[in-house]
């Protein structure tokens, strides 16, 4: 499982020219799910996301988590995070989990964020979406759950 976290002052996601998800301030998270991902990967990433200190304290140091500052998350499913571009010019998406496997994990990921008392807006799984955001910093972090198994 892989996430790209962007700290955002405002973000929205549209499907068919209507806003289906929107936040005022917090994180835009792109979530990629690969073959073999399980609840274990969700556990690892939820803890990291909830406790990652990307918000400033009074001295302007990154010292506060999204929970500490009561911000929101806009979560977008993003199967292209597992694109393999090593051969040729067309990405191979064989490492991306199939929808029937990925969607329940995606929904569980949302519920687990909400269980941490984080307000979550979301895109539409499998839809063509337009995501707009104002990246603050800019701050962009990439986390991968398989890192927990390597060290």
Centre a 10 Å sphere on the Cβ of residue 115 and count the other Cβ atoms it contains: 10
Query: Contact 102/95 with Cβ under 8 angstroms?
Result: no
Q: Known catalytic residue: 34?
A: no
CA atoms within 13 A on the CB side of 99: 4
Query: Coil, strand or helix: which one is 148?
Result: helix
How far is it, in rounded angstroms, from Cα 125 to Cα 36? 19
How far is it, in rounded angstroms, from Cα 4 to Cα 143? 7
Q: At what angle do helices 99-115 and 39-51 cross, to 10 degrees?
A: 40
**Candidate list 34, 38, 80, 134, residue with the active-site label:** 80
Q: With 0-12 CB in 10 A as exposed, 13-18 as middle and 19+ as buried, what is 45?
A: buried
Point out the residues that are catalytic: 80
């Amino acid at each position: 499982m892989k996430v790209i976290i962007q700290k955002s002052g405002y973000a929205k996601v549209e499907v068919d020219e209507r806003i289906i998800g929107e936040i005022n301030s917090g994180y835009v998270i792109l979530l990629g799910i690969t073959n073999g991902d399980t609840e274990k990967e969700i556990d690892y990433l939820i803890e990291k996301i909830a406790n990652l200190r990307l918000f400033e304290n009074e001295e302007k140091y990154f010292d506060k988590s999204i929970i500490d500052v009561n911000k929101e998350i806009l979560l977008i499913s993003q199967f292209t995070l597992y694109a393999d571009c090593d051969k040729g010019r067309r990405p191979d998406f064989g490492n991306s989990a199939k929808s029937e496997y990925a969607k329940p994990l995606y929904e569980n990921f949302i519920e687990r964020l909400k269980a941490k008392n984080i307000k979550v807006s979301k895109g539409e799984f499998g839809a063509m979406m337009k995501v707009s955001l104002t990246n603050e910093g800019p701050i962009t972090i990439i986390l991968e759950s398989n890192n927990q198994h390597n060290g």
